[in-house]
Chains A and B, each alone.
Chain A
Amino acid sequence: MTPPVDRPSTTATRRAVLAGVAGSMAATSGCVSRLRTVMGRERPDPVTVTIKTVPADDDPYALLIARQLSEWLRAAGINANVLPMASEELLRQVLVNHEYDLFVGRYPDSTLDADSLYSLLHSQFATEPGWQNPFGYANLSVDDLLARQRTTDGDERRQAVADLQSTVARENPFTVLAFPDVIRAARDDRYSRFGTTRSDEALGMLQLHRADDGADALRVTTTDERVTSTLNPLLASVGRVGTVTDLIYDPLVRRYRGERYPWLAESTTWVEDGVLEATLRPDLSFHDGEALTADDVVFSYRFLRDTASGERNRAAPTMRFRGRSTLAESVTAPDRRTVRLTFGEETDSVAERALTVPILPRHVWTERTGEPRVGGLDLGGGTTEALVTANVPPVGSGPLAFVSATRNDRLVLKRFADHFLETADTPALPDAVADGAAFEELVMKHVGSDSSAVDLVDSGDADLTLAGLGPGVLRRIGQADELDLLVDRSQSFYFLGFNTRRAPYANPRFRQLIAQLVDRRHLVQSVFSTFAAPAISPLARTDWVTDDLTWRGRDPITPFIGAAGEVDDAQARAAFREAGYQYDEQGRLLGV
């Protein structure tokens, strides 16, 4: 390096230049920092909401709700649009990948209990794929209340559940909309007593009586194409209530119309505090002839908690049953017919919910703990074969066994002659189903739409439309002499779910305001043609619902901003402004 003294003139020149640069930098630095302050601020963009749901062929109500909702949101200056997609895709985007803003769906379980809210809302499940906390909701006081209702009894539990409902109604991670009255069509020349069945209860098929001795098969229609291709009881479904896998897989104890009945277990006894012993019925077997023993039960409980069976450092839990499968701390098998479940602090009645999960054959599922492969490729993704398999043919121990499945055409099940409903005289079972199936085969035909479902029943090619029908076919059912109209009050509700992981839906005030743009009464009239009941609490059809959350013509917590299905634009905008939101010159709501 040349010392500067050797070349003074150059140094002087360089110094002068440097001084000049420094001077001009100093002069502009104020401007740059101002520029940075201004440029560095992100301009708020208008809020764009995509409401995901299924197309009308799959569920006309969900789609119509979504469309009505998008209109109400637009009235408040929110750019909302509806994106219909196949139910399998909706499941993938919403429940697995959590890629959504809002979605309209139906709660998939008809046996709703106070403790059902545990898996739906507890923050411990916020990162899991599946029906457990799909909203990504995390609230410490809700977590506390959820835990409290599991460990308390009587008035104390009642209070906890009441507090829970009102907190959830205020916080609004999902907005309960209505419980539908499900419309079905049936013809009773081959089978009868359809009126005693319920749409969201697959077991009801066993209540039917055969009216025509020549009619071996009960033929029902479904618009759900997944029924013909996927029979995995561990997968979540969107909008399918009363799944057919309930007929193929049996639990230890079955919940039926609000009561629990010993099922695979012939008896259950609390042998000491927190320890329950279940005794299996003698000579149980799976559809493939293998014996069902206590080992299978132990395996099932461990498998439901982690389908990777602890082979990896990361658990791969199921997409359903999480509230129930996390209850038992340990499950062991002292002998072939005895299962011993150990629970924590939970009260007996909550702990017994754990007994209603399906029992899987160990010899089938034990090979499904590895990572799924597609064409020999390991795509990883933290999942297991068990969570992606279509599970065809399914091997269960339930009253119906698999015969065949033709994709997008039909699923055929047959009576499982070795089932205890068929063989034993079992007094402790619900009367209506205690004799097993009256049919030899159950044929489920996939149809493209509601009108062709009605058409098949009308022409005598089917006996019953299995799933609920849209209001569009009501008149046709009424006009056809052969058709009986069945209407039953569903136990599972339609709701609007928020992705609380994302702005602005992370903000409970924003969610409240969206809820205030929902006129449930109008929805019930316009979308459901009055075949539904508005509701505020998810427990509205249970006796847990509190008086102040019972629907009485209006929502006391998030009342509709408007009247008769019309949003009051000015008032809605004022409410959003009051919550801290702003509108741009074109009247569009801005995010933050």
Chain B
Amino acid sequence: MGLLAVVVEVVTAVSLLLVTTAAAVVGPERLRRLRWTLRGRVRGALGPIVALAVVLAINAVVRDVGLELSWLVGVNVTAAIYAVEGEFVAWFQSLGTPAVTTVLGYVYVYGYAFLVTFPLVAYLALEDQRYLRATATAYVVNYGVGLVCYVLFIAYGPRNYMPDMVQSLLYDALPRFQLLTSEINTNTNVFPSLHTSLSATVALLAVRTRDIYPRWLPVASVLAVLVALATMYLGIHWATDVVAGLVLATGAVAVASRVHSI
């Protein structure tokens, strides 16, 4: 299966998830109104959205350069992370079953993509644009700090450090997704886990908007926890990366709330 086919598959699946969840969480009334006010709202949140687009674009361009730069100035912390947490990920993975692997594999790919795109749709549907701006800002902080960390810290994930104990479960169970992740992630970019930090960011923002979207909070929290677990279970991230991701998420949400006073 080629890369294009995998991309089409993921986009289709995530779109379906977005539409159904939007219907249940946002509600038909808000969505209908969104149709009339879409242009104005996008314009309202233009600043942070453009910033996010720019950071994503820089991220894509700088990734290769960053990798080279990283070997020039970065510190290889792989051995240090292993010294801290040892074989925790191996132990965690040993608890799994093939069913768990499949579920967490899909959570890692579909679930994550859905989780980070849904808030953009849901908060766009609100008249109060602060949440949309806050989300975009928080994402910018996540990506920005993440990128700097990737340059400063070189770290290989557990599957690359202890392949005897930690299997590359995602690649073994759902190998087609490897096409996708190898396009996106280089194997030295593990500290911190951006999967974790972005998911946690979404969950933390869901807490702030629980009065507006009460149904979103449980979905976001459960998914965020599963994504964090999946990154470790699939052998991609260390527990240290996940903890660092949570810290980053907390910081990013704090910055975003301050800036947009939510």
Smallest beta-carbon distance B182→chain A, Å: 4
Select the residue from A60, A63, A84 with max chain B CB neighbours within 10 A: A84
Beyond A55-B156, A63-B163, A89-B71, whether A451 also contacts B82 by CB under 8 A is no
- Are B156 and A449 interface neighbours, CB within 8 A? no
- Are A55 and B187 interface neighbours, CB within 8 A? yes
- Are B64 and A56 interface neighbours, CB within 8 A? no
- Are B154 and A85 interface neighbours, CB within 8 A? yes
Residue of B154, B164, B187 touching A57 (CB-CB under 8 A)? B187
Beyond A448-B187, A452-B175, A455-B178, whether A84 also contacts B167 by CB under 8 A is no
Smallest beta-carbon distance A102→chain B, Å: 13
Residues of chain B with a CB closer than 8 A to A88's CB: 71
Q: How far is the CA of A470 from the CA of B171 in the complex (A)?
A: 14
- Are A452 and B171 interface neighbours, CB within 8 A? yes
What interface size band does chain A fall in?
20 to 34
- Are B163 and A60 interface neighbours, CB within 8 A? yes
- Are A56 and B178 interface neighbours, CB within 8 A? no
- Are B82 and A81 interface neighbours, CB within 8 A? yes
Interface SS majority for chain A: mixed
A83 at the interface (CB under 8 A from B): yes
- Are B171 and A451 interface neighbours, CB within 8 A? yes
B129 at the interface (CB under 8 A from A): no
Interface 1/0s, chain B 166-203, versus A by CB < 8 A? 01100110011011011000011000000000000000
Interface 1/0s, chain B 1-26, versus A by CB < 8 A? 11000000000000000000000000
Beyond A84-B78, A86-B71, A89-B71, whether A57 also contacts B160 by CB under 8 A is yes
Closest to A476 in B: B172
- Are B1 and A459 interface neighbours, CB within 8 A? yes
- Are B1 and A84 interface neighbours, CB within 8 A? no
Residues of chain A with a CB closer than 8 A to B163's CB: 56, 60, 63-64, 470, 472
Q: How far is the CA of A224 from the CA of B188 in the complex (A)?
A: 15
Residues of chain B with a CB closer than 8 A to A470's CB: 163
A50 at the interface (CB under 8 A from B): yes
Residues of chain B with a CB closer than 8 A to A461's CB: 2
A162 at the interface (CB under 8 A from B): no
- Are A85 and B76 interface neighbours, CB within 8 A? yes
B159 at the interface (CB under 8 A from A): yes
Beyond A56-B161, A60-B163, A84-B161, whether A455 also contacts B175 by CB under 8 A is yes
Interface 1/0s, chain A 48-72, versus B by CB < 8 A? 0010000111001001100100000
Residues of chain B with a CB closer than 8 A to A193's CB: none
Residues of chain A with a CB closer than 8 A to B178's CB: 448-449, 451-452, 455
Smallest beta-carbon distance B162→chain A, Å: 6
B145 at the interface (CB under 8 A from A): no
Q: How far is the CA of A88 from the CA of B188 in the complex (A)?
A: 13
Binding site for A on B (CB under 8 A): 1-2, 64, 71, 76, 78-79, 82-83, 154, 156, 159-164, 167-168, 171-172, 175-176, 178-179, 181-182, 187-188
Known: A67-B162, A449-B178. 11 other contacts (CB 8 A): A55-B160, A56-B160, A57-B160, A67-B161, A83-B79, A84-B78, A448-B171, A448-B181, A448-B182, A449-B182, A451-B175
Instruction: Return the 4 tightest CB-CB contacts between A and B, nearest first.
Output: A448-B182, A56-B163, A55-B160, A81-B79
Binding site for B on A (CB under 8 A): 50, 55-57, 60, 63-64, 67, 81-86, 88-89, 407-408, 447-449, 451-452, 455, 459, 461, 470, 472, 476, 526-527
- Can you list 18 A-B contacts (CB < 8 A)? A56-B156, A60-B163, A63-B160, A83-B76, A84-B156, A84-B161, A85-B71, A448-B178, A448-B182, A448-B187, A449-B182, A451-B168, A452-B171, A459-B1, A470-B163, A472-B163, A476-B172, A526-B164
